[in-house]
Chain A
Amino acid sequence: MTERKEVWITGIGILSSLGEGLDAHWDALNAKRINVDDKRFAPYIIHPLAPVSFDAQIPKKGDQRQMEAWQRIGTYAAGLALDSAGVKGNQEILSRMDMIVAAGGGERDLAVDTAILNADAHGNFSPGFLNERLMSELRPTLFLAQLSNLLAGNIAIVHGVRGTSRTFMGEEASSIDAARIAVARIEAGQSDIALVGGAYNGERLDLLVLFEFGDFNLTGEFTPVWARENNSGFALGSAGAFLVLESREHAEARGVKPYAKLTKVVADLAQRKQPGAVTKSLETLWSKLGVGDDVGVVVTGATGAEPVTSEERAFLREHQGLAVRATGTMFGHTVEAQFPLGVALAALSISRGALFPPNDPTGFEVEKSDPPTQIVVMGTGHWQGEGMALVEAVK
């Protein structure tokens, strides 16, 4: 085995309910701004996407029309990451840039669905009814806006990222694994540069329905993640978060500065039927990261769902002196985008020499004044999968 290569984060792209780009997010986080909409889907709460002109990253209207919102959000954020890494339009690099996208599925045509369901409820449901309605009413290219791997496909088409292209699925865990595999490949010399991330459109009734099946949606009054013990759940959020990862050698050869390095990503699947399993799994992952409590900072994608958030809090309480930041409070739960978003904010904080302030009236999140040099990013899935990443300053 050759020596493991160091993996640098050289590009960050974020589009969310708080805006687009690094400065806008830095300002919003420091101003403790939160963008929630508790009216549109009341009593359900969401964090809607900030106004954005997609033309800036997806210049062809034809491309925009071929996508649904989740793909536009992701393709846009991917473009921001490529810009930030200074590789946008660099065909030589893009032609061999690897990509791992964490994705769910795309929007449905709710008008078609609702009409079919109403007809069914009225008893107008002959054997071929569903087929006939779907055949005549579904937009032929809607399928391409729904297919999980077509976010990656659109990034290839719009931005020309065309080395390998892999799409991981499976909610929160998929984006942890996307980062984990990309880092492992770069460390081992199987890849020099990779685009990694995910996107989520939280403004979808069909997804609210899916999470409502499990009573996971936050309803009523908006509260920060750590204040939801008695009214648990998450408010879906819209966000795209992408990172450009590359080997130190590759970055140095093209003369770019890193935001931070991504030292390690670990993940596991706890058997959650046993109470305490998540707390235990997080302890194991923490020791695999090889950090002590002097690491100082944890950025977590804790959802606010129970019992998992309480299990995560129990783990964090065992490690005294940590400054914790829950992205779920500011951004909502962006599922496949939450982990890359956490890594992005960790890298941004390290590069700016400061941690953004707590946004938590319960006092669980505490101030941290000195510049962070190590940040652990945590992702604990709302129903399965846990992972952590260690983001560090480049010495």
Chain B
Amino acid sequence: MATPRDKFGRPIVVVTGMGIVTSLGAGKTDNWAKLVAGESGIKTVTRFPIDGLRSTMAGTIDFIDVDPFTSTRLSERIAEIATEEALAQSGIGSKGDFPGPLFLAVAPVETEWPQRLELGRTVAKREFDYYDMLRASGGGRFAPYHDRFMFGSVAKFLAENFGTKGSPISLSTACASGATAIQLGVEAIRRGEADAALCVATDGSVNPEAVVRFSLLSALSTQNDPPQAASKPFSKNRDGFVMAEGAGALVLESYEAATARGATILGVVAGCGELTDSFHRTRSSPDGKPIIGCMRKTLADAGMVPEQIDHINAHGTATPENDKMEYLTTSAVFGEQISKIPVSSNKSMVGHTISAAGAVEAVFSLLTLEHQRIPPTINYDVPDPSIHFDVVGNKARDARVTAVMSNSFGFGGQNASLILTREPA
């Protein structure tokens, strides 16, 4: 019988419910089956015209209808679906009454092109400027767009639907957002503020301008054909990430509260860590120190040593820079042992779900612990000879997995890591 507190005297934080939506499908069952079978969710984009784009594939979620379509509404809807799944599994609270706060990782919100075009078309002038558009905006005609394009709109919707308590927090730490949402939940439970927290991360932002923005920063793969082979983490011929949509939801609880209500414990968030890189807006410090520090902080937070980690769920975006830096830094933390730790990148199959990635990959890490099976890194045909990871290439691998480190790194010097374990230490 484990004690309800960790070795630092803090409440142990466990996961009692998980939900997921990716381009592979909705729900853990479908996602896991496809993930370990090495299936890709990446397709040529059909949602909008791809003429003139350098990258034409993405992990879009096309099997869920939202009408009228906006990226923000899609983010909201898939977050809702993932949350429903997590709550059903957890059995916590009652319908519309979740007994804790909401931490939501969500893509930055802005007025989108279809709505901007709609506004422009209402201006009754041959040549018009933004002032003309401003004068056409009021009077209630576009009132729903105010609510839709507020940054807090998705969190408001989820908080009201699921009855979370207090002021819901929407956050962004770029590509580390999902991990940060979990970290905020862990911190709240450790402070004793809450016995439970709902941590959700969502991103439905595959739209033309988003693709263009990443494309102009040369971050995206341009290996458009075949689309499912584009995302090549740790391969010599990798050339960028593939944008994708997804949502992950986790119900966190104190071990004490979870056991008191007889909940099934799916795993433990043993440690989390974060360290900011002040080197550059998009590139890591060449010495990798902030990432190394982030992983070490996470190990220290979990009270663990590198030898106790037996799988790494990599950030593995497949950009030339990320994968190189990730190897450099991970090997600095793990030393000789690194060649013996199986490493895999879910992004080879589901693409980079940006704001959602940290939570999507935390769910996959917990499923890895549950099934004792590591999903593959597909498209791993030409290994990068300078990356000496034990990459779980192309085929899933059965393995004894007791502790997973999941890493997330983002623009703006954001680094966040999580350590997930099966049982309380």
Residues of A near any B CB (own CB < 8 A): 1, 41, 44, 66, 99, 103-105, 108, 110, 113-114, 117-118, 120-121, 126-128, 130-132, 134-135, 138, 140-144, 146-150, 152-154, 156-157, 160-171, 173-174, 176-177, 180-181, 184-185, 188, 190, 205-206, 208-217, 267-269, 271, 381, 383-385, 387
Contact = CB atoms under 8 A, between A and B. Distances in A.
A272 B309 CA distance: 48
Given A149-B173, A162-B290, A169-B109, A209 B119 contact: yes
Given A121-B121, A162-B290, A212 B152 contact: no
B203 to A, nearest CB: 13
Contacts of B211: 131
Interface stretch (B83-91, B125-133, B231-239): B125-133
Interface residues on B, range: 35 or more
B230 to A, nearest CB: 18
Interface string B86-127: 000000000000000000001011110100110111010001
A110 B128 CA distance: 12
Contacts of A213: 137-138, 142-143, 145-146, 149
| 9 A-B pairs with least C-beta separation | A128-B51, A170-B152, A153-B412, A214-B146, A117-B120, A127-B49, A267-B167, A132-B52, A212-B137
Contacts of B134: 41, 44, 205, 208-209, 212
A1 B192 contact: yes
Contacts of B411: 144, 147, 149-150, 153
Given A117-B116, A269-B166, A384-B156, A205 B174 contact: no
A167 B416 CA distance: 13
Contacts of A150: 281, 411-412
Contacts of B130: 110, 113-114, 205-206, 209
Given A144-B411, A149-B174, A269 B51 contact: no
B170 A132 contact: no
B172 interface: yes
Contacts of B413: 153, 156-157, 162, 165
Interface stretch (B20-28, B270-278, B395-403): B270-278
A143 B174 contact: no
B209 interface: yes
Nearest to B159: A269
A212 B120 contact: no
Nearest to B207: A130
13 contacts: A66-B281, A143-B216, A147-B108, A149-B411, A157-B278, A181-B169, A205-B131, A209-B119, A213-B146, A215-B143, A269-B159, A269-B160, A385-B167
A131 B53 contact: yes
Contacts of A128: 49-53
Interface string B7-43: 0000000000000000000000000000000000000
Given A147-B411, A269-B166, A385-B167, A134 B209 contact: yes
Interface centre among B149, B167, B187, B192 (most CB of A within 10 A): B167
B184 interface: yes
Nearest to A336: B151
B274 A268 contact: no
A190 B281 contact: no
Contacts of A99: 276
A378 to B, nearest CB: 14
Nearest to B213: A143
A165 B173 contact: yes
Contacts of B212: 131, 134-135, 138
B146 A143 contact: no
B331 interface: no
A105 B169 contact: no
Contact of B128 (A117, A144, A162, A216): A117
Given A149-B174, A165-B173, 15 more contacts: A114-B130, A117-B120, A121-B123, A131-B52, A132-B52, A134-B212, A144-B281, A150-B281, A166-B184, A169-B152, A170-B155, A170-B168, A209-B111, A215-B138, A385-B167
B282 interface: yes
B390 interface: no
A295 B105 CA distance: 37
